[in-house]
Amino acid sequence: MKISDIKDLLDAEVVCGEENLDHNVFSACGSDMMSDVLAYVKDQAVLLTGLVNAQVIRTAEMMDMVCIVFVRSKKPTPEMIELARESGIVLMNTEKRMYEACGLLYKSGLVGNGVRHE
Amino acid sequence: MNESIRFTFNVDGSNFTTAGQASVQVKKNLRELGIPPEAIRRVSIAMYEGEINMVIHAHGGTAEVIVYEDKIVIVLSDRGPGIPNVELAMKEGYSTAPDNIRSLGFGAGMGLPNMKRYTDDMKIDTEIGVGTTITMTVNF
Ligand SMILES: Nc1ncnc2c1ncn2[C@@H]1O[C@H](COP(=O)(O)OP(=O)(O)OP(=O)(O)O)[C@@H](O)[C@H]1O
Ligand SMILES: [Mg+2]
């Protein structure tokens, strides 16, 4: 699906990266623990999280992720937005909670697909 | 040709917000050098985990990345408390991080095992009260 589909499915508000909404993504992961996110690679393009700090952006950047969705209406700080802009990462936030947001995306075909690097 | 390129960084141990900056910069530098993307990702993740560890467990230190023709070596040195039991620290889920670190998204006890899995070689030199040096190699 496209990043714009995620926005629609989650009724989300785009904070930055509008220009990349056409980007295609195939899998996602949801976590508040960054080292858990870092443990699974394989084209995981989207990160859903309730955590709000600069490390979320850097973690996504290290993983070559292209979109971060903040659940429960969490708002990224200006510093985080700046970091995301530098790396071309789309930031958005949704009122939905983690479980529901992940479920909606999964149901629409955005799978987990995380593979451990061994 | 056996010339190597070297990047060195100071890692500020007093500021969690800036932790990881060196890894972001290394990722940019490696892209400019045209290193294969998969190798860049492995270096980035391993170094980032190590850099965060230096900040949350060891009051910061220095990071050095040396790029050879067919491998990248990352050396992370700190003057922190050292790791009393390396075998235990390497276990998935083992963490001494306090709750305030966990609320920042770290302290799952996954960092060191991740570093080991993403690199081809990892060596930990540590001494209680003196510090820790972690040397990791990624071949490409
Ligand atoms: N540079 C270091 N100096 C001193 N102790 C360290 C250092 N790096 C790791 N440790 C110790 O090893 C433990 C395990 O480290 P590891 O990176 O695997 O987990 P963590 O940092 O606690 O959590 P996570 O990496 O999942 O956020 C740490 O909790 C800490 O006790
Ligand atoms: Mg760690």
Alpha-carbon gap, residue A32 to B72, rounded angstroms: 30
SS3 call for B121: strand
Question: What HEC string does B44-82 produce?
Answer: HHHHHHHHHHHHHHHCEEEEEEEECCCEEEEEEEECCCC
Q: Do the chains contact at B114 and A35, CB–CB below 8 Å?
A: yes
Q: Which two tokens stand for residue B126?
A: 């540590």
Select from A35, A51, A61 the Cβ nearest to the Cβ of B110: A35
Taking CB atoms and an 8 Å cutoff, what residues of chain A touch B44? 61-62
Asked if A99 and A19 count as a contact pair (C-beta separation under 8 A), the reply is no
pLDDT at B132 over 70: yes
- Residue ranges of chain A with per-residue pLDDT less than 70: 41-42, 114-118
Q: For residues B63 and B41, what is the distance between their CA atoms, to the nearest angstrom?
A: 17
How crowded is residue A108: how many other Cβ atoms within 10 Å of its Cβ?
12
Asked if this assembly's ipTM is beyond 0.85, the reply is: yes
Contact present, B136 and B74 (Cβ < 8 Å): yes
**pLDDT tens for residues B29-84?**
999 999 999 999 999 999 999 999 999 999 999 999 999 999 999 999 999 999 99
Domains of chain B with CATH codes: 5-139 (3.30.565.10)
Classify the phi-psi angles of A105: left when phi > 0, otherwise alpha if psi is within -120 to 50, otherwise beta: alpha
Q: For B23, which of A39, A62, A117 is closest by C-beta distance?
A: A62
pLDDT per position as a tens digit, B72-127: 999 999 999 999 999 999 999 999 999 999 999 999 999 999 999 999 999 999 99
B109 CA to centre of ligand 1 in angstroms: 6
Structural domains present in chain A: 3-107 (3.40.1390.20)
